[in-house]
């Protein structure tokens, strides 16, 4: 799964990397968590970065507080789940990030269980998770709430010792454009949802500061002592 990540890249770098304008200013986030409003690029407006709430609230839900708000969606079953099937066809997005966190659930190499790790590209550059999005309308107030979920897949060799799932990191600008494109058939979109090459990633153990979203500070990124 993917339950925490970071985006600390400067706005200028993000604009250059993704070819999209920032709809609003946003501060670096060292510990992005569910329910926060975070930078996303949608297939409906690929030229713009906008903020959306992490945790999907489908448009058809009557009461947004009564049901689940999934932060992740399994790539293998997107076409089977009612909550995701139509979104795969018409509402795909890029979730901007530059690292994510995972907790090793079993004791290994002398480390205690639930040890937090930071995972990033060897280049250190920002990238995009494959995501799905939707907009929920409050019929009483007229408020529109845009939300998203991150697609996950099976782990690569780097991630296997840490967790049985990993977020789908799209493999560069060409894959990102294909994920957003409405001209690409469903099979083409599904083919993009694969594990990122392990040799292009690295990871290291960090402190338990990351356990609390209240710790949104550079110290979260520091290697554990």
The answer to whether 94 touches 170, Cβ cutoff 8 Å, is: yes
Predicted model pTM: 0.94
Higher pLDDT residue, 87 or 140? 87
Whole-number percent of the chain with pLDDT over 90: 78
The residues annotated with a catalytic role in the active site are 2, 102
- Torsion over CA: 214, 211, 117, 127 (sign): negative
- The listed range with the strongest mean pLDDT (11-25, 58-72, 102-116, 159-173) is 159-173
pLDDT of residue 112: 60
pLDDT of residue 122: 98
**For 6-17, what is each residue's pLDDT tens digit?**
999 998 899 999
**pLDDT mean across residues, the chain:** 92
Other beta carbons within 10 angstroms of residue 218's beta carbon come to 9
Model confidence band, residue 169 (pLDDT cutoffs 50, 70, 90): very high
**For 28-53, what is each residue's pLDDT tens digit?**
999 999 999 999 999 999 999 999 99
pLDDT of residue 184: 95
3-state helix, strand, coil in the chain (%, to 5): 20, 35, 45
pLDDT of residue 31: 98
pLDDT of residue 110: 61
**For 196-213, what is each residue's pLDDT tens digit?**
999 999 999 999 999 999
pLDDT of residue 111: 58
Q: What end-to-end distance do the CA atoms of the chain give, in Å?
A: 26
**For 71-119, what is each residue's pLDDT tens digit?**
999 999 998 888 798 999 999 999 999 999 999 876 656 656 689 999 9
Model confidence band, residue 140 (pLDDT cutoffs 50, 70, 90): confident
Cβ contacts of residue 220 below 8 Å, gap of 6+?
A: 6, 30, 31, 206, 207, 209, 210
């Amino acid at each position: 799964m993917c339950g925490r990540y970071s985006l600390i890249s400067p706005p200028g770098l993000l604009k250059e990397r993704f070819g999209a304008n920032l709809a609003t200013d946003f501060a670096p986030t060292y510990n992005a968590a569910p329910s926060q409003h975070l930078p996303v690029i949608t297939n409906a407006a690929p030229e713009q970065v906008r903020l959306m709430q992490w945790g999907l609230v489908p448009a058809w839900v009557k009461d947004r507080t009564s049901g689940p708000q999934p932060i992740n969606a399994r790539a293998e079953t997107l076409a089977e789940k009612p909550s995701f099937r139509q979104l795969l066809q018409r509402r795909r997005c890029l979730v901007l990030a530059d690292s994510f966190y995972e907790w090793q659930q079993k004791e290994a190499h002398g480390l205690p269980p639930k040890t937090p790790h930071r995972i990033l590209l060897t280049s250190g550059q920002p990238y995009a998770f494959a995501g799905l999005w939707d907009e929920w309308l409050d019929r009483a107030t007229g408020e529109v709430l845009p939300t998203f979920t991150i697609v996950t897949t099976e782990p690569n060799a780097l991630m296997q010792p840490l967790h049985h799932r990993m977020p789908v990191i799209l493999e560069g600008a060409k894959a990102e454009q294909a994920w957003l494109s409405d001209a690409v058939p469903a099979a083409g979109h599904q083919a993009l949802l694969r594990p990122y090459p392990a040799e292009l990633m690295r990871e290291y153990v960090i402190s338990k500061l990351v356990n609390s979203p209240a710790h949104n500070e550079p110290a979260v990124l520091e290697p554990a002592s």
